[in-house]
Amino acid sequence: MILQALAFYLFAGITVASAFMVIAARNPVHSVLFLILAFFNSAGLFVLQGAEFLAMILIIVYVGAVAVLFLFVVMMLDINFTELREGFLQYMPVGALIGIILLIELALVLIGWQLSPEALAQGQAPPPEGMTNTHALGGVLYTRYIYLFQGAGLVLLVAMIGAIVLTLRAREGVRRQSAAAQFARRREDAVAIKKVEPRQGV
């Protein structure tokens, strides 16, 4: 029990420190690296809670794909960070307002736990006997929260299509695939059969 408590405080402390350094680091590459460190320690917290599937998803999806993609984008783009920091003070009121809203939401969560202890006990309940953590998570997602889960998938799909449409630019001199022209092409238009005599050119 003492070893588990020490592991919890170690993972939680590193996670909080890494999250602070994500917003405090001057170099964006260092911020992404601290974000990856925070993800790894959050996965350790999930393992301590018995949620191995969520820990693996956090490492595979967020660290292996999202965070590494952020790192590549930050390293490949030529961003002038001096110009980005010039307008920092004008966004300070909006940032402070968002921070206050987040603090109010966290306070409401803590008050909800105090007013309804059974909700906290229900959230900490282990999976039923003979059922793994992954099985229990899938059962909850695809039964009780199936519509919300599918709705989140549709929102991500719309966001992906919107990003593609916004970044797609038609430039002259660039050859693009035309599926309609490919399907409409006939064999006679693409293939020419010629009979070549021996020892003669075409």
pTM given for the model: 0.58
Task: Give the per-residue pLDDT at 14.
Answer: 92
Q: Classify residue 102: in a domain, yes or no.
A: no
Q: How many structural domains is the chain composed of?
A: 2
Per-residue model confidence (pLDDT) at position 158: 93
Residue 61 lies in a domain: yes
DSSP assigned state of 198: T
User: Does residue 177 sit in helix, strand or coil?
Assistant: coil
CA distance 162 to 112: 37
For 32, the domain range is 1-81
Query: What is the pLDDT confidence band of residue 116, given thresholds at 50, 70 and 90?
Result: low
For residue range 28-63, list pLDDT tens digits in order. Answer: 778 888 888 898 999 988 888 877 888 888 888 888
> What CATH number did the domain enclosing 56 receive?
1.20.120.1200
Q: How far is Cα 93 from Cα 75, in angstroms, rounded to an integer?
A: 30
pLDDT category at 88 given cuts 50, 70, 90 is low
Do the domain assignments include residue 98? no
The reply to whether 137 and 75 lie within a common domain is: no
> Considering Cα of 110, then 117, then 127, then 44, what sign does the dihedral take?
positive
Residue 38 lies in a domain: yes
